[in-house]
Chain A
Amino acid sequence: MATSLVRKTKLLSMVSSQLNSAACFRNIHCTAACLKNRAARIRVAKGDKPVTYEQAYHPHHIGHRKGWLSQHTSNLQGEDGAAERVVEDVFIRRFMYGTFHGCLADEVVIKRRGNLLLICAVMIQKLLPSKFYFLIGYTEELLSHFYKCPVKIEMQTVEEKVVYKYL
């Protein structure tokens, strides 16, 4: 038994030395789990959960049944700044979610035209129009000064959240 063990270890060291040679080199990747098959998908449940059109269709339907929520040119060939646009978008979405709390009926669509940053939002008629205008003026001014570019909000209101189906 001892001899077989020694032989096995010898075999192991031979194998590991072969592995350590340049021909077969494997690195270890350490990232968080991306869970690409669970992102932005609402799973089918009992049938009482209302879900909007945007939420009902999964990411592989983008370009087929859904549009894009963020429109800019930095993903074209030769353009840069894509990462900065993503960070800006994340900030703007959180800002809108917090400022118009409970009023957003659907995801915010962000469009960039030249210098102009256009934030398109659909709101529920939860607040009085004068309060909406206060928040619109506040958001436009604050984000303009923050991003050093003109920011405009285009708002549409609906009575209640538009339900596409129940999952």
Chain B
Amino acid sequence: MASSCSQALRHHVCKSSRILQEIVIPKKKTWSKEAVLQALASTVNRDPTASDYRFQDDPYLTPKTSSEFKLFSLSQESGRNAAKYFISTYPKYFQKDYAQPHIPCLMPETLEAQIEEVSEAALIERIQMRKVKAAVDLYDQLQQAGTPVSLDVTNQLLDLICFYGDCDPAQENVPEQRNEETEDVQDEPQTKKGRASKASDKLKAAWKENNNAERIFALLSEPNTHSYSALIRGMVKYGAYSKAFSTYTDLLNNQLKADVSTFNALITAAPEVKEKYNEKWELIVDLLKQMAEQKVKPNLLTLNAVLKALRRCGTVGKSQAFPVISEMRALSIDPSLASYNHLLSIFYKPGAPFQGQTDILQEVMNEVSGKSFTPQDPDDAQFFITAVRICLDTKDIEQAYRVHELLGVGENWRLLGNDFQQNIYHARFFSLLCMMENIDVVLKWYRDLVPSVYYPSSNVMRDLLQVLDTDNRLDLIPQIWKDLKQLGHGNRQTLVEELLTLMAREKQNQEVQETFAECALDIKKMYDTGDRGKVMMSWTAGSLSDLVSVLLAAQRRQDAWEILKLFKTHNRVPSEELLDKFLTCIKESGDVNQALELVQISAGFCLPGTPKLIQRVQQEFLLSEQQKSMLSDLEIQTFNSD
């Protein structure tokens, strides 16, 4: 047995030694230079107490309202532009190169063209510097001098002209003067108007007749695909749709093939040239068939162009959208966020009632969840806003959470858009939360988002107050008031009046009432200070009464008395219940003089409830002879005036 054991052992050792001999050395892993930084960054979440990374970490320098946010980021940008101006005006001081390896973006850029003589190289240089007019002039000079310009360079020139619409691109140093409203960016039509006006400002230059592009194109002896492509795309970009189609027919007549970007442009232009839905669709199908005939492979932008065109096709769009996507999938073109955006817009038209298509959003979210997207199409940035708008309209909080979760996956945060779009997204998300969730969840999101990421407008704050009301957490009102002041909404009359009404409605327990009284006095200060042209609020009878009620409920009779005097100064009439309440309060302290003054005030306003007040005073208070006579005089007076 021992021998067999040892034999087995030897066998085992042999085997393992054979295994030991087959060591496989794994391939060396190469890490990118930023791998350590990325790993460290993945351990840190967003800090909800800090402001945006652009700003300095100092209370004086942190923006507290959305207008401050915009102002500070724009002033930082304009500082940078000022520095760029100096660097480009005096480049000789910035030529010394310390950096190894060379950092090209920190060298002064040459804004003037270097090559002066009339040659093709000079033309190429001006094209690269994006100087449209200079390039066209140089081309004309070259033509006059008789030097032949190669087709490639002419094509590049055509690209340049058609991209910029035959005018020089606006200088990047001028910060965009946006005059959007800084306050309520909530309402859909308002934001749409704002965006549309900005877009149309940029594309103000429409495609002019016989402009340089067409002229130079006509001079070409043998235009090739690229030339036609540039011309057609320029025409579509600047609104000359029917011309684009006629140029396309020219291309076909010359027995040339179009390339994929030409077809994309034509598909984009298709809804503009036809009126009826099915005609539009037939034109698009026709174009796609021609694409197949010419053996041009469609790409992602083709899919997105088709879907975007289907948005304008009404019911036809709804029936054709899914087949299009599946066909493109078969060609191994995966939809991007822009495709999903167009899909959602086809099925959920803003403002239209829903006919039971609520599951499309769910299907889209099922497709998209957990994936990280890269920007592939300019319309990718619209996805999140559209998705959250649909969630808001259909009141679907589950999908909204999924959309928000998608934002946290990988690089998707880049696809949320610029500050304006981020604001819209967060506004809609937060409004939906206020509508659907209870106060604890809302407050959790509130503390997470505000004010590090989102500065709510006054409408959204009103929604928040409604949630407080619904869930009976009115004791949080003083905190919300502090936030309101900080956000710059402290002087909005409707919001403040609503606050006062909520505070005055019911009697709370003692500590809460105390905090309410402090808050109410703070609010009163907002009415008084009108410094530096801030919007002045005016007292109404309702707001004054609410203020007095709150102070009375907290047993602050002296302050309430001051406010009561304000009725006269601001020409407002107090209600009878208010004076009744006040009298009850005075009775508790037993101050007869004040009671008499109250009655006189009531008489001064000629209130119909004055006799009752007088009766109450006579019954409930111990009056001296003088006071009794004064009261009876008043009684007669009021009796006579009735």
Contact = CB atoms under 8 A, between A and B. Distances in A.
Main DSSP-derived SS at the A contact region: helix
Interface of A: 125, 129-142, 144-149, 153-157
Nearest to B97: A148
Nearest to B77: A137
A157 B56 CA distance: 10
Contacts of B57: 154
20 contacts: A129-B60, A130-B75, A131-B75, A133-B72, A133-B79, A134-B78, A134-B82, A137-B78, A137-B79, A137-B83, A138-B79, A138-B82, A139-B79, A139-B83, A145-B87, A145-B106, A146-B94, A148-B107, A149-B98, A154-B57
A147 B98 contact: yes
Interface in B171-218: none
Contacts of A142: 83, 86-87
A138 B83 contact: yes
A136 to B, nearest CB: 6
A134 B75 contact: yes
Given A130-B72, A133-B76, A146-B94, A155 B56 contact: yes
Nearest to A143: B83
Interface in B42-89: 55-58, 60-61, 63, 68, 71-73, 75-80, 82-84, 86-87
Chain B interface size, under 10 / 10 to 19 / 20 to 34 / 35 or more: 20 to 34
Contacts of B86: 142
Contacts of B78: 134, 137
A141 B60 contact: no
Contacts of A135: 79
A111 B79 CA distance: 23
B20 interface: no
A133 B75 CA distance: 6
Contacts of B417: none
Main DSSP-derived SS at the B contact region: helix
A156 B57 CA distance: 7
Contacts of A157: 58, 60-61
Nearest to B103: A148
Contact of A136 (B79, B87, B99, B106): B79
Contacts of B108: 145
Nearest to B93: A146
Contacts of B76: 133-134, 136-137
A132 B75 CA distance: 9
A124 to B, nearest CB: 10
A156 B71 contact: no
Nearest to B83: A141
Contacts of B80: 137-138, 140-141
Contact of B106 (A129, A134, A137, A148): A148
A101 B58 CA distance: 20
A136 B58 CA distance: 14
Nearest to B87: A145
Interface string B108-145: 10000000000000000000000000000000000000
B385 to A, nearest CB: 28
A155 B61 CA distance: 9
Contacts of A141: 79-80, 83-84, 87
Nearest to A84: B98
Contacts of B107: 145, 148
Contacts of A156: 56, 58
Contacts of A144: 106
Given A155-B58, A157-B58, A148 B75 contact: no
A132 B98 CA distance: 29
B309 to A, nearest CB: 42
A109 to B, nearest CB: 15
B394 to A, nearest CB: 41
A52 B107 CA distance: 39
A132 B63 CA distance: 13
Leading 3 A-B pairs by shortest Cβ distance: A137-B79, A141-B83, A138-B79
A129 B87 CA distance: 25
Contacts of A139: 79, 83
A141 B109 CA distance: 14
Given A155-B61, A156-B56, 6 more contacts: A129-B72, A131-B75, A141-B84, A145-B87, A146-B94, A154-B56
A135 B61 CA distance: 13
A100 B428 CA distance: 41
A129 B61 contact: yes
Contacts of A148: 97-99, 103, 106-107
B94 to A, nearest CB: 5
A152 B176 CA distance: 25
- Most chain B CB within 10 A, of A133, A140, A141, A153, is at A133
A146 B97 CA distance: 9
B56 A136 contact: yes
A130 B55 CA distance: 11
Nearest to A154: B56
A137 B79 CA distance: 5
- Most chain A CB within 10 A, of B60, B84, B86, is at B60
- Most chain B CB within 10 A, of A125, A131, A134, A146, is at A134
A139 B86 CA distance: 12
A112 to B, nearest CB: 13
Nearest to B102: A148
Contact of A125 (B56, B60, B68, B106): B60
A133 B94 CA distance: 23
Contacts of A125: 60
A19 B97 CA distance: 52
Contacts of B82: 134, 137-138
B168 to A, nearest CB: 24
B244 to A, nearest CB: 42
Contacts of B83: 137-142, 145
